[in-house]
Amino acid sequence: MNGAETVVRTLVSQGVDLCLANPGTSEMHFLAAMDTQPGLRAVLALHENVATGAADGFARIAGRPASTLLHLGPGLANGLSNLHNASRALSPVVNIVGDHAVAHRRLDAPLTSDIEALARTVGVATRTALPGADIAAETASTIAQARGPVPGVATLLLPADTAWSEATERPVAARAAEPPSAVPDAATLDAAAAALRQPGAVLFLGFGAVRGEALEAAGRIAAATGAALVGQTTNPVLERGLGRVCVERLPFAADAALRRLCGVPALVLAGARAPVAFFARPDQPGRLWPPGCALVELAAPHADAQAALLALADRLGAHSAAGVRRHQAEPAPGGDSWIGQALASSLVEGCIVVDEALTHAVAIAAATASAPPHLCLQNMGGSIGYGAPAATGAALAAGGRPVITLIGDGSAMYTIQALWTQARERLPVITLIIANRAYRILELEAARMQVHPPGPAMQAALHIGAPDLNFVQLAEGMGVPGRRVHNAAQLAAALAEGLRARGPLLIQVDV
């Protein structure tokens, strides 16, 4: 058995059964190993950033890692953007990167680079399986480090000579990540309880705190103390919809977030990071909580937020669900949210929404708050081009549940190749491209930075019309049917068609 076969067999034995691949010459033995060692499903992506983003989306829904297969340093570099997003989401990813044979690296061939340095920028671990080493153990250790206790991207470099050389087969026992301490100590629980009893206090939720029993416990705590429930601007997976506990979303814009948190006496962090602005601006603080506001960390982002919130609810005697604020059935708001209205009327219970709508996200989220219960995936790292790949991975993990992706037209062009993978795998992904022919989010940022009026150079850099992008034709060229809509009725009809088809569909939404 050669090294590549040992890696594949170890992946499968450790519960990794999906490989999102964009291979090259150095990975030929790995591809052959997937034929001789069954159990690892290969899904081809036409760009590395699709493979890495799909691994992120898969991990968020499946709760376990997929592997990638990338080619040398340039291939890894192409996938770094969505590995960054995966890292910020604490998504477990086993990132396998083929490398030159060890002796060949000394020759400085054209594709030689410092792969380890690139991998360390986004990873919790970087390992190398050298010829003659215990390759099974190296692979198992990489998987264990991806899973935690602080999960993330763990990279395994696989030199070509390691892949083709004979390897000693040694059985490796499954390794479970050691969870961090689940329940906060008494002092932390008492500090959190006292902080939340102050008028105007905020229970700030993130990561595992916005799902399941953790979210229910947070709702009871808010009802018992009068504290507000505010969520991070983005979260890896958020439970939303009719009957779910209401969670206010901290605004993306720093000035709006500062206004929301102004005067708040205490922030209790439950699975959330302390809120900071995405970017620095002149004469504006980077920290979004006010001076004098007490910060109490109940549970770190990687910790067991459910155990922490249940313990705090017990401490407060918050056992009754009476008074918990939940999303109620009500008409969607009017105004410019016709996209959200159509989406709210079309969503089916249990579906997955991947949000990269950018400037339209807030209005759509308000309109869909009381839609049938669904999961929402959000961009955790801020690097655009995550939506279509994440939707691809989510669909691979979701067992046939429909996935609806909301993407701005500028973002869509970063990873449009994901449509091809969706077509090849017949994935039930409906992609909504919101086409305003501009980098509108950057226009808003320029206004906030008081860079006005925009001159011809800025206008040329922020508008993506002339020529206008035709996403229907782009989709059909990759095997995905396309529709173009201009109003809510047309969008609702196209969504119904896509949900019936149970395969990929692209809808260009002109706004």
What confidence tens digit (pLDDT) does each residue in 439-450 have? Answer: 767 767 777 677
Q: Do 155 and 210 have their domain in common?
A: no
Per-residue pLDDT tens for 110-135? 999 999 999 999 999 999 999 988 99
Q: Is residue 180 part of a domain?
A: no
Query: What's residue 175's pLDDT?
Result: 62
Q: Do 298 and 354 have their domain in common?
A: no
| Neighbouring C-beta atoms of residue 291, cutoff 10 Å | 6
Give dist(CA 468, CA 10) in Å, integer.
Answer: 48
Peptide bond into 199 cis (omega under 30): no
Query: What's residue 236's pLDDT?
Result: 98
Query: What's residue 460's pLDDT?
Result: 77
Residue 251's CATH number: 3.40.50.1220
399: Cβ contacts below 8 Å, ≥ 6 apart: none
Closest CA to 180 of 296, 308, 93: 308
- Which residues, given as ranges, of the chain have pLDDT below 70? 169, 171, 173-181, 330-336, 440, 443, 448, 452
Query: What's residue 502's pLDDT?
Result: 87
Per-residue pLDDT tens for 415-460? 999 999 999 999 999 999 999 887 767 767 777 677 767 788 877 7
Q: Is residue 430 part of a domain?
A: yes
Residue 316 is encoded by which pair of tokens? 């407060």
Q: Is residue 18 part of a domain?
A: yes
Residue 66 is encoded by which pair of tokens? 């997929």
Residue 313 is encoded by which pair of tokens? 């609810």
Q: Is residue 169 part of a domain?
A: no
Q: Which of 100, 132, 164 is at the close of a domain? A: 164
Query: What's residue 442's pLDDT?
Result: 73
Residue 435's CATH number: 3.40.50.970
Extended beta strands in 341-412, E state: 352-356, 374-378, 403-408
Query: What's residue 210's pLDDT?
Result: 98
Q: Do 399 and 490 have their domain in common?
A: yes
Residue 175 is encoded by which pair of tokens? 């390794």
How many domains does the chain contain in total? 3
Q: Do 199 and 59 have their domain in common?
A: no
Q: Which domain holds residue 468?
A: 338-510
Q: Do 312 and 450 have their domain in common?
A: no
Q: Is residue 175 part of a domain?
A: no
Q: Is residue 83 part of a domain?
A: yes
Give dist(CA 19, CA 95) in Å, integer.
Answer: 9
Query: What's residue 332's pLDDT?
Result: 46
Residue 168: what residue type? Answer: T
